[in-house]
């Protein structure tokens, strides 16, 4: 479970893009906030479950929030000011029948490493899905021995633009964000949702209260890093007990990482991140330019 939000100028006070995500995962899973330096891949690259072709060109440096057991990232920001986050979605196509492929988290990381704009990041994700497919469990095999594969929705942003990408297997739809937008654990592009959402998915109880709360938060202008922190810490969006934006569904799901990013046209992104429940811990604030040293110090 996850909630992702974006606000473009002029919804923000400084003409910047604000991106935010709460990552909801198994409560005892460790999620790392780490610096991934630029590198040059050759041959093939090992993602969580499969190998993918490498391009032989330098990747971009990134700040990644990554479950410790896997290769992919829940969310992150790269040196070009591109931010990407994913959410679990279920459709009429059963993901348990899909061959092992890329996880949604793999796709987040690969897009961050390879894309200098939000539009390019969408293209990267779509091309990878078409070539390798989505498949394989998105959960630690030590915690979920039988696996739990799922499809993904993505929110992708840069300092000037943002896009929603809904998927079901290799099928997809995209939507250009014009002002503000939120996604949660359901397909949200109307035509794609009507065609693909599973009719028995309990979105009315477990998803829509959170998604609607995010939309209300984005409607309060201006959208600021402080207002997004308040929203990501909130518990007033429950359908079932514990299934709030800051999630505390006992022994099932909890918010284990949270990030807000201010993506600036001059490339000087600022990040706020916490690797735990945001209602119980303070966000670490740092400039992307200082990320390598800031994250090394925070890990000490």
β-pair type (253-263, 248-249): antiparallel
- Domains of the chain, earliest start first: 2-299 (3.60.60.10)
* Cα 266 from Cα 257, distance rounded (Å): 27
- Is there a contact between 288 and 77 (Cβ–Cβ < 8 Å)? yes
What is the b/e burial string over 142-165, where b = at least 16 CB atoms within 10 angstroms of the residue's CB? eeeeeeebbbbbbbbbbbebbbbb
- Is there a contact between 95 and 135 (Cβ–Cβ < 8 Å)? yes
**Which stretches of the chain score pLDDT less than 70?**
299-300
Residue 2 annotated among the catalytic residues of the structure: yes
The total of other beta-carbon atoms located within 10 Å of residue 199's CB is 5
- pTM beyond 0.75: yes
- Is there a contact between 2 and 256 (Cβ–Cβ < 8 Å)? no
Q: Choose among 229, 247, 225: nearest CA to 238.
A: 247
Q: Which two tokens stand for residue 200?
A: 């028995």
pLDDT digit string, tens, across residues 112-138: 999 999 999 999 999 999 999 999 988
CA dihedral 190, 229, 258, 81 (to 10 degrees): 80
Q: Choose among 251, 224, 255: nearest CA to 237.
A: 255
pLDDT digit string, tens, across residues 34-55: 999 999 988 899 999 999 998 7
Q: What is the mean pLDDT of the chain?
A: 94
Q: Choose among 215, 210, 287, 187: nearest CA to 7.
A: 215
pLDDT at 297: 76
Percentage of the chain with pLDDT > 90? 79
Backbone angle region of 147, left / alpha / beta, with phi > 0 → left and psi within -120 to 50 → alpha: left
The catalytic residue among 2, 62, 238, 246 is 2
- Is there a contact between 44 and 53 (Cβ–Cβ < 8 Å)? yes
């Amino acid at each position: 479970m996850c909630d992702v939000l974006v606000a473009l100028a002029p919804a923000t006070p400084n003409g910047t893009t604000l991106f935010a995500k709460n990552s909801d995962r198994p409560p005892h899973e460790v999620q790392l906030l780490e610096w991934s330096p630029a590198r040059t891949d050759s041959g093939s690259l090992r993602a969580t479950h499969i190998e993918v072709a490498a391009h032989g060109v330098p990747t971009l440096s990134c700040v990644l929030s990554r479950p410790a057991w896997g290769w992919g990232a829940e969310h992150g920001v790269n040196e070009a000011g591109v931010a990407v986050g994913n959410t679990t979605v279920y459709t009429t196509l059963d993901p348990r029948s899909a061959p092992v492929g890329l996880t949604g988290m793999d796709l987040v990381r690969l897009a961050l490493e390879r894309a200098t704009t939000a539009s390019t990041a969408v293209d990267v994700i779509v091309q990878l899905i078409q070539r390798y497919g989505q498949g394989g469990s998105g959960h630690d095999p030590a915690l979920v021995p039988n696996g739990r594969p799922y499809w993904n929705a993505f929110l992708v942003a840069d300092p000037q633009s943002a896009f929603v990408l809904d998927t079901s297997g290799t099928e997809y739809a995209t939507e250009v964000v014009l002002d503000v937008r939120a996604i949660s654990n359901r397909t949200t592009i109307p035509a794609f949702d009507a065609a693909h959402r599973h009719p028995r998915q309990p979105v009315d109880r477990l998803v829509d209260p959170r998604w609607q709360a995010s939309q209300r938060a984005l409607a309060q202008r201006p959208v600021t890093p402080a207002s997004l922190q308040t929203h990501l810490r909130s518990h007033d969006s429950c359908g079932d007990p514990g299934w709030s934006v800051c999630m505390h569904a006992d022994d099932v799901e909890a918010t284990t990482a949270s990030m807000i990013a201010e993506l600036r046209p001059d490339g000087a992104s600022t990040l706020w991140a916490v690797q735990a429940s945001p209602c119980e811990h303070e966000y670490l604030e740092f400039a992307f330019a200082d990320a390598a040293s800031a994250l090394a110090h925070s890990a000490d």
